[in-house]
Every structure is written in C-alpha cells, then in structure tokens.
Chains A and B, each alone.
Chain A
Amino acid sequence: MDVIIWSRLQFAMTAAYHWLFVPLTLGLALVMAVMETIYVVRKDEFWKKTAQFWMKLFAVNFAVGIATGIILEFEFGTNWSNYSWFVGDMFGAPLAIEGILAFFMEATFFAVMFFGWNRVSKRFHLASTWLTGIGATISAYWILVANGWMQNPVGTTFNIDTVRSEMASASAFWEVITNPVAVSKFFHAVSSGWVTGGIFVVGVSAWYLLRGRNRKFAVKSMLIGGIVGLAGSAAVMLSGDSSGVHAAEFQPMKLAAAEGLQDGGRGAAFTIVPGIKVPKMLSILATHDMDGYVPGINDILAGYTDNDGNVIPSVAEKMTRGRAALDALAEYRAARESDPEVAAAARAVVEANMQYMGYGHLSKPEDVVPPVGVVFWAFRFMIGLGMLIALVLLLAVLFSWKDKLEGKKWLLWIAVICIPLAYLCGQCGWIVAEVGRQPWTIQGLLPVNVAISSLSADAVRTTFFVFLAVFALFLAIEIRIMIGAIRKGPEEVKED
C-alpha cells in the first residue's frame, strides 16, 4: 500500500479512537448534570450518590480519552502538511478557539466538579457540573466548524501569493461558523453523544438488575439515562434529516454513494436494503419534495440541472476548468515578478476557475466516486442500529417509569448488548461522512493525494502500528478500570 493509504488509515484509526471517548463524555455529562439537579431540587442524598457514581465513570472515560484529539493535530503537521498549509486560518482559527476557550472552561469546571463536593455551595457545584458538559459541547462545536468547512468550504478567499485559504472579513468568519453543514453536523454529533451516554447508563443499570443488586439505583438511573438517550434519538433524527438535505445540496456524490444510486431522477426511491425500496422517499429526505430531483452517480459524472435550475457541469468539464486554474497558478508564479500583465491575466483565470481547482488533479472523472459499498452499508448500519437503540431506550423509559422491569430479562440483556452497538453506530456515521467525502480533503478544492506530505510509506506504516499498540493498550486499561468501577458499584447508595 502507498503512503496515501497508510496516512488515511492512520488518521481514520486515530479519529475513530478519539470518537470512542467523546460521545460518552457528551452524554454522561448531561446524565449526571440532570441527576445532580434533581439532588439540589429535592435535597435527596440518593441522587447525590447516584450522580457521583456516574461522575466516576465519566472521570475514567475522560482520563483515558484526554488529549487523543491532539494526535490528530500532530498528524496534520506530519502527514498532511500540504493540507495544513493550504487551509491556513480557515482551520487554525476554529481549533485555536476550541483549545483556548472551550478546553480551559471544561478543565476548570471539571476540577470544581470533582474536588468541590462539600467545598463549594451546592448551586456552584451544580453550575460547575453543567458547565463541564457545556464546555465539552462548545469544544465539539469548534471542531465541527473545522470539519464542516472541509465538507463545504464557505467564506474562503484563496490567496494566490501564499497559496493559503483566508478569511478575508468578519462576515467570512460568520459564514464559516454558521456554515449549515457545520451546524447540522454539530447537532447530529452532540445528540448522538446523548444517545451513547443514555444507552450506556441504561445498559450498565440493566446489568445491575440482571445481577439482582442496587435495584433502586439501577431503575432510577435507567429512567434518567433512557430519557436523555431518547431526547438524543429525537434530535439525531431531526439533525440527520437536515444533514441529508445538506449532503444533497453540497455533496451530492456522497448522498448518491450512500444510496448506491447509479441513475437518479425525480421521485427517487429510498433503498432500505438492496431489493427493498420505499417509493419517493429519497426525494423527500433529500429535497423535502416527493418529486424533487436527486442526481445519481452517472448524472453527477455527466452533469445535470439541480432543483433550483442551476446547470451543474460534468466532471470532465470541471477537470478542464480545474486544470486551467492550476496551469494559470503556475503561470502566475512564474510571471508575477517579471511580467505583471501576464501575472494579472493568470490571476484572473485562477479566480474564475478556483471552485474547480481540485478537479485539475484528477486523472479521470470516475476518480470523484467514493467507495460506494463501504458508504452504502455503513449508512444502513448507522440507521438500523440507531433505530434499534431508540426502541430499547423507549422501552427502558416505559418499564422503568412504571417500575415493571421484573421478568424483562430479554430487554435487560438487549440493553447491555446495545452499549457496544451504540459505539458501532457512531463509527458508521463517521464512515459515511468521511469515506463518502473521498477523494477530497477539502470538497472540490484539494484531493487527498495532493494534501499528503512527502513521506515514505514505510515510515507511516511503522507509526500506524506504534499507534495501534498504544491505543489498544490505553483502551484495554480504560475498559479494565471501567468494568472494575462498575463491578464495585455505587456502594454508598442507600437502597430502600
């Protein structure tokens, strides 16, 4: 395998590893904040001990997950140096804000949350618990602003002299942080974290019930975890709907790949699994119009007219215009000091064709098609698992609400099994988002084979296996500590 494949594998592994910790942080933060709020309102010591137990598991997850995102930033500089230079402050600014503002906010209140019991007032402690969760959520927003820009590069001015993308004005910054792709990604990712946190609490509580211990604690925790998870599931569906509309608008090839749609059209059907289709459903999901036009892979390659009447050029034409931009860029750089007139003309050509510049690097139009099978099945696993988890959460809420979990061992076992399935579901979501974006690092502007650094495949392969060993070690440590803490259980909670 070449250096591009190894670098992509390494980045994917690091990102997937990072995403093992983030959703539980986001979800558990909300669960324990709700529990502590009940404690402060009702002044019932049971809820304090309950919140403290989940806080302990939150701490284990936080300790092992801390700083895993930094490895991604290391990889940008080492493996993706051309990309890092090209994106300039479009990527640097959101990440810097994330580091300075959200991380420090999170870290500060995290300390009060853990060390402040009996040392600060109840209300200040409660505020710190909420602010820890809010800080983590704000962190996620800035990261997803950066990611959303890669999917839909808005607010960008290409500086032809520095070959960097720049935010030319305050309005450009606003455009970047309100990028519709980033906003829907934020709500989708955060609410999926609530689902993960919710099902984690429900599953662990189910395990206690199966073992016949800590019954009151387990039933009450299951109710709160289930409600948080259900709220997350509803938000995931709503934000998933807007993600679909945005994919249709900004990344139609990703949508076509997720659907395995070779030839599109009006009133397009949604494929549940190959051979089973729901008529017109894809058009409804993608355009909110049952007769809306959804382009397939072949339509995108050949060019089509979208629902607003805009003529979208064929990929071959985009490649021609992209090549013109690249040739003009070379001409500009050669002539900028010796021949201002030639340089000015070349600059005009670059600016006129800039939006297709990345296409100039493609060898053939089919290069824009991502791995369809991977995206298609990851999408189906994501939706299928998400629906299963939502159903389990609903049943958990209903039965724990009425305290009728006796004899429901089947539900309790499914709830336990759903913990790893929730992680699988989240990973599938990221596979759809990131594999579906191929071959681009930045949609339409920079393909992965140009974004890569000049490294040897051997060097990247070596580091890949080093990281795999390190990640596996830390993951094993986390699982061991987590299981130990769960087995020990909330001993101090008084049972009725």
Chain B
Amino acid sequence: MDSRPRKTPSLFSLYRDGFRNMTWGKPLVWLIILKLVILFAVLRVFFFRPAMAGLSEQEKIEAVSGRLTDVDQTQTTNNN
C-alpha cells in the first residue's frame, strides 16, 4: 500500500529527487538532452536561419509585397 505523503514537496525537490532516483528513465533524459542539443545547437544554428533574418520591418514588408505582386515570377514557377 502507499505510504501517505508526509508533506507536499516543493517543485524543486520533486524534480531533484525524481532525477536522482531515476532508474529506467535516465536514458530517456539523456535522449531528450541529446535531441534538444541537435535541435537548437545544430539544426537551428546551421540549417534554419530565418530567410528574412537581419531585415528591418520595412525591408520585410517590401520583400513580401514585392513577391506578392510579382505575378510574372509566380507564372514561371507554376510552369516549372
């Protein structure tokens, strides 16, 4: 049977003791860390530079409105 909890643990101690006492979950935590590193330190940095990064708001407006109204370019991509 469950022993009744002595008192409500703080969130910090819940996490601390939870990680300390992990058995089968430990590889999962390492897996999550590895995945986040790949996502944010590799993919995000080297492969996912936002296409309009570095442009001012006005430059972004000009870029998108230019693309919207450049129907000739669209027709070209339609025909490819």
Q: Which residues of A contact B (CB under 8 A)?
A: 2, 4, 45, 48, 56, 59-60, 63-64, 66-67, 70-71, 74-75, 77-79, 81-82, 85-86, 108, 111-112, 114-116, 118-122, 124, 161-163, 323, 326-327, 329-330, 333, 360-364, 367, 447, 449-450, 453-455, 463, 466-467, 470, 474, 477, 481, 485
Contacts and interface: CB of A to CB of B under 8 A. Distances in A.
Tell which of B1, B4, B44, B48 has the most Cβ of chain A within 10 Å: B48
Interface of B: 1-5, 8-9, 11, 14-15, 17-19, 24-25, 27-29, 31-32, 35-36, 38-39, 43-44, 47-53, 60-61, 63-65, 67-69, 71, 74-75, 77-80
A329 B68 contact: yes
A75 B74 contact: no
A361 B73 CA distance: 9
Closest 9 CB pairs of A and B: A115-B18, A81-B51, A77-B50, A453-B51, A363-B78, A330-B69, A63-B28, A74-B48, A361-B74
Contacts of A86: 64, 68
A74 B28 contact: no
Contacts of A470: 38, 43
A481 B30 CA distance: 13
B78 A481 contact: no
Contacts of A79: 51
Contacts of A477: 31
Given A78-B48, A362-B78, 7 more contacts: A4-B77, A79-B51, A114-B18, A327-B69, A463-B47, A467-B43, A474-B35
Contacts of A67: 35-36, 39
Nearest to B74: A361
B26 to A, nearest CB: 11
Contacts, number: 133
22 contacts: A2-B77, A59-B28, A63-B28, A77-B51, A82-B64, A82-B67, A86-B68, A111-B11, A115-B17, A116-B14, A120-B5, A120-B9, A121-B5, A161-B61, A163-B65, A163-B68, A363-B78, A449-B77, A450-B68, A474-B35, A481-B27, A481-B31
Contacts of B31: 63-64, 474, 477, 481
Tell me whether chain B's interface is mostly helix, strand or loop, or mixed.
helix
B65 A333 contact: yes
Contact of A59 (B9, B25, B38): B25
Contact of B50 (A2, A48, A81, A474): A81
A78 B50 contact: yes
Nearest to A80: B51
Tell which of B9, B43, B71, B80 has the most Cβ of chain A within 10 Å: B71
A329 B15 CA distance: 55
A326 B78 contact: no
Contact of B9 (A56, A74, A108, A119): A119
